[in-house]
Copies of this chain bind each other. A is one copy, B any other.
Amino acid sequence: MPHTTAPSPRTRVRRLPERAHYDADSIAAIVDAAMLCTVAFQIDGMVHAIPTIHWREGEHLYIHGAKGSRMLKALTAGEACVTIALADGLVLARSAMHHSMNYRSVVLYGRFEAVTEPAHKLASLRAFIDGLYPGRWDTLRPISDKELNATTVLRIALDEASAKVRDWGVKDDEEDLAWPVWAGVIPLRTVTGAPEIEHDSVGRVVPPTRFG
């Protein structure tokens, strides 16, 4: 397990630290495998946590939404904690307590900044769409200035982050191994279903997605 980067005091995993990774590649891989994160922030000392889509470009995680969004406005005014979690499997042990899950998660601290430079903002939205649906941006009705103005794009550096991963079988106490109940892992994964075309869609060719 690569531990090429040291954790900050804040991101050092204390519970089950053998499951921690701090290198940029491990973190980027989990950010890319997930589409959703939860963004936690404060307003007047009160904690809020809101689910949102993210994408990654290089060393930054990006999010987007309405210019008027309370979350997006609060995020440029203070610190945030971004959380990503992927459920990879159900772990069934012989004892109740050793039941667990296989998972990949990231916790990231820092401050979002607005992407305001017009060419950068446009390129980011293109990267967002094409990252999900390769080649789609150029096939869409071109985006308007009004739409661009109504949209806020924020990004946060993937600097102060930790990953935590469990990806193995069952750990039971030695003396329980012969207990006669099924022990093992039931994998979980997210799949796409049959595309549901809009009744008035003129285009008939389902676009490729990065989800296969």
| Interface set of A (CB-CB < 8 Å, partner B) | 10, 14-15, 35-36, 38, 40-42, 45-51, 53, 65-66, 68-70, 79-85, 87, 90, 92-97, 99, 101, 103, 105, 107, 125, 129, 132-133, 136-137, 139-141, 143, 147, 150-151, 169-170, 176-198, 200-207, 209, 211
Contact = CB atoms under 8 A, between A and B. Distances in A.
A90 B193 CA distance: 10
A124 B91 CA distance: 19
Given A179-B141, A198-B183, A38 B35 contact: no
B184 A196 contact: yes
Q: Which of A47, A192, A203 counts the most B-chain CB atoms under 10 A from its CB?
A: A47
B47 A99 contact: no
Given A182-B207, A186-B196, 12 more contacts: A14-B70, A40-B47, A49-B81, A49-B107, A94-B140, A95-B147, A96-B143, A141-B181, A182-B195, A184-B206, A185-B195, A186-B193
Contacts of A137: 96
A50 to B, nearest CB: 7
B183 A97 contact: no
Given A187-B193, A205-B182, A38 B36 contact: no
B42 A49 contact: no
Contact of A183 (B36, B45, B197): B197
Contact of A198 (B42, B170, B189): B170
A95 B189 contact: no
